[in-house]
Amino acid sequence: MNIGEIAKRSGVSRSTVSYALSGKRPVAEETRRRIQAVIDELGYRPNAAARALKEGRTRTIGLVIPPASQRLTDVQLGFVASVVDAAARADLDILLSPSGGEHDRSFERVVSGSRVDGVILMEIRLEDDRVARLRRSGLPFVGIGHTSRSDEMTWVDIDYETLMARCVRHLADLGHRHIALVNRSAELVAAGYGPSHRAQLGFTGAVAERRLEGVQVCCADDAQAGRSCVERLLAAHPELTAIATINEAAVPGMYRALTAARLSVPGDFSVTGVAARHWAENLHPPLTAADILADELGARAVDLLIQRISDPDAPSRHLLVAPPISLRETTGPARPRAGRP
Partner DNA sequence: TCGATTCCTCGAATCGGTTCGACTGAACGT
Partner DNA sequence: ACGTTCAGTCGAACCGATTCGAGGAATCGA
Give yes or no for residue 40 binding DNA (CB under 7 A). Answer: no
Distance from CA of residue 276 to its chain's centroid?
Answer: 11
Q: Which stretch binds DNA (CB under 7 A): 23-31, 79-87, 225-233, 244-252?
A: 23-31
Q: How many CB atoms lie within 10 A of CB 49?
A: 9
Tell me whether the omega of the peptide bond preceding residue 266 falls within 30 degrees of 0, making it cis: yes
CA distance 117 to 109: 13
> Nearer Cβ to a second copy, position 105 or 317?
105
Q: Provide, rounded to whole angstroms, the least separation between the CB of residue 84 and DNA.
A: 25
Q: Provide, rounded to whole angstroms, the least separation between the CB of residue 162 and DNA.
A: 45
Q: Provide, rounded to whole angstroms, the least separation between the CB of residue 95 and a second copy.
A: 6
Give yes or no for residue 262 binding DNA (CB under 7 A). Answer: no
Give yes or no for residue 252 binding DNA (CB under 7 A). Answer: no
Q: Provide, rounded to whole angstroms, the least separation between the CB of residue 110 and DNA.
A: 15
Q: Provide, rounded to whole angstroms, the least separation between the CB of residue 172 and a second copy.
A: 31
Report the interface residues with a second copy, using CB under 8 A. Answer: 43, 45-50, 52-53, 58, 60, 63, 68-69, 71-72, 77, 80-82, 84-85, 88-89, 91, 93-98, 103, 105-106, 108-110, 112-115, 136, 222-224, 252, 256, 278, 282, 284
# binding residues, DNA (CB under 7 A)? 33
CA distance 230 to 255: 9
Structure letter (DSSP) for residue 316: P
Which one of DNA, a second copy, none interacts with residue 71, CB within 5 to 8 A by kind? a second copy
Pair 104, 66: CB distance under 8 Å: no
CB burial of residue 23 (10 Å; 0-12, 13-18, 19+)? exposed
Q: How many CB atoms lie within 10 A of CB 238?
A: 10
CA distance 142 to 287: 31
> Nearer Cβ to a second copy, position 238 or 285?
285
Site for DNA (CB under 7 A): which residue of 22, 69, 259, 310?
A: 22
CA distance 333 to 327: 13
Residues in 41-100 at the binding interface with DNA, rule: CB under 7 A: 44-47, 50-51, 53-56
Which one of DNA, a second copy, none interacts with residue 19, CB within 5 to 8 A by kind? DNA
CA distance 120 to 102: 20
Give the strand pairing for 325-326 and 288-292: antiparallel
Which one of DNA, a second copy, none interacts with residue 95, CB within 5 to 8 A by kind? a second copy
Q: Provide, rounded to whole angstroms, the least separation between the CB of residue 79 and a second copy.
A: 11
CA distance 172 to 211: 9
Give yes or no for residue 148 binding DNA (CB under 7 A). Answer: no
Distance from CA of residue 80 to its chain's centroid?
Answer: 7
> Nearer Cβ to DNA, position 35 or 242?
35
CA distance 99 to 59: 22
Q: Which stretch binds DNA (CB under 7 A): 29-37, 62-70, 218-226, 240-248?
A: 29-37
> Nearer Cβ to a second copy, position 63 or 246?
63
Helix (H, G, I), strand (E, B) or coil at 274: strand
Residues in 97-116 at the binding interface with DNA, rule: CB under 7 A: none
CA distance 258 to 235: 11
Q: Which residues lie below 8 Å from residue 53, measured CB to CB, with a gap of 6+? A: none
Give yes or no for residue 328 binding DNA (CB under 7 A). Answer: no
